[in-house]
Structure 1
């Protein structure tokens, strides 16, 4: 089956954190280092932007009670509504030298998110300070729990349909891990590697970044600095499919569309030179991929 790639939004500095809202047919995502959240309406084609102040934002996910949960550098906060733009901090999670990175909500409504060193001026992943981030969760009652330390760049995550396994990426070791997942207790255990981007078996993949899972249990992972999204079988660690994009810094992805058969993919032009942008002018675009022949599922919303 042949896929089709189209550009739906251009000129984002560092697109990240896509979340599809099936109730409004809108894609929410962030422009990380300029502190913007975006709402792309797939019906009208309109892309609206809201600036959240002076702190880098990496997460925007709707709340079941209305509004959104967002991150602001080292804090978690509630965005009251898109129209009001009012942000209220609910927890300071990390030291000032760090920042919150990717996040996603599990089937119980619990937010999982990770951290890393604030890399605003770090050009390449290999220059990133290592082992200074963590993986956390936020429960509906506002309590924050740390699950793993010594993470370098916390990134994509997702869960199997039966909620027995959680997948999680640390970009610097270029590994995708699986954990046994207890959805009731909100705990993970039995860490193992399901895909290793640094191995000779999986070549030219860059750095694993964002992640989505399809209804067949296969992982769709973005390859930062390699310009592609790959579909990986977590049982074997092998690449089943590769989708190539017209820019290198592919950051994250999620399934969307009326029947969840579209794959929305974010990218970055952050810290690229004018010559690099001229060579790949679609860097920083939000892409929509159709015709993949697979589907995702409804995204979870935060219960707090």
Structure 2
């Protein structure tokens, strides 16, 4: 196994939301408070970006063209070539929140959650005023889960019957029964609860992805690690450490989907931390894990004309 720094200091603030686009063999990711969507081409090492007018929590491609992104409190469609941004929905009027992580389910719906717009230094103390939303293929939006602290990682089992979801504030990962035909979720259970564990060792669970064995690879913020968890027991099966303390998310990519791309953050990192970990905010790639991921899902709904 090898850990490689692909782009040094790729993110000026919070690198997040990596998504491998196997149509173009490029990696999409965001830099939240730099208001930027990045597109990295491993063949050419080109890292292009679009800068928008507010924070960008996530980005996913749309099958019919362009990208769906969480920008501030809005879900938008972005045309990469023309830079045109079209607002689809705005949420949580009167609340100081913003969109954070988001992903598509196997049927092509977009699931995206919110959190406080100005995070508190003590993450468990953050107000749980966020929600998890689902953008359906007909363009309608529904609020699915309320009382969320920091809406984060999302993933679906290969049989389509389970959805996994992380709320970073209580340091928990959940499993829901998932109905593929309707997108309804119910019967929440806890996969793991790290609330009583050491932060330097276990951090705060953040973004995640599943491998083809059904295990969850979870970035644990403040721990320097991405951990592989058994989704049945929550047990840590494997751990990969990085020369950066603030690991944020991960996805499988590469032409064989056997390389793990990992984003990191430097947002509010003190000077002493940056001296000790100068690669904070970098984009990393892990090879030789011996596992593969699935092709990432795209939004299958209609897009604005």
- Classify the TM-score, shorter chain: over 0.9
Residue among 187, 190, 194 paired with 1:197? 194
Corresponding residue of 1:63: 62
Corresponding residue of 2:40: 40
1:84 aligns with 2:82: yes
Q: What is the CA distance between 1:199 and its match in structure 2?
A: 4.2
TM-score, normalization: structure 1?
A: 0.95
Number of corresponding residues: 298
Query: Given the superposition, is the C-alpha separation of residues 68 and 200 from structure 1 closer, same or farther in structure 2, using an over 3 Å criterion?
Result: closer
SS at 1:278 equivalent = helix
TM-score, normalization: structure 2?
A: 0.95
Contact 1:197–1:203 (Cα < 8 Å) also in 2: no
Corresponding residue of 1:117: 116
Provide, for residues 227-283 of structure 1, a one-character-per-residue CA deviation record: whole Å limited to 9, x for no partner.
Answer: 100000011221000101111100000000001000000000111122321110000
Corresponding residue of 2:296: 299
**Aligned partners of 1:221, 1:298: CA distance in 2, in Å?**
17
Corresponding residue of 2:19: 19
Within a 5 Å distance, the mapping from 1:1-304 to structure 2 comes to 3-11=1-9, 12=11, 13-53=13-53, 55-80=54-79, 82-95=80-93, 96-119=95-118, 122-128=120-126, 130-199=127-196, 204-304=201-301
Provide, for residues 277-304 of structure 1, a one-character-per-residue CA deviation record: whole Å limited to 9, x for no partner.
Answer: 1110000001000000000010000012
Contact 1:218–1:232 (Cα < 8 Å) also in 2: yes
**Aligned partners of 1:117, 1:199: CA distance in 2, in Å?**
23
Contact 1:126–1:172 (Cα < 8 Å) also in 2: yes
**Aligned partners of 1:131, 1:167: CA distance in 2, in Å?**
19
**Aligned partners of 2:291, 2:154: CA distance in 1, in Å?**
19
* Runs of 5+ consecutive residues of structure 1 not aligned to the other structure: none
After superposition, the CA RMSD in angstroms is: 1.5
Q: What is the CA distance between 1:124 and its match in structure 2?
A: 4.2
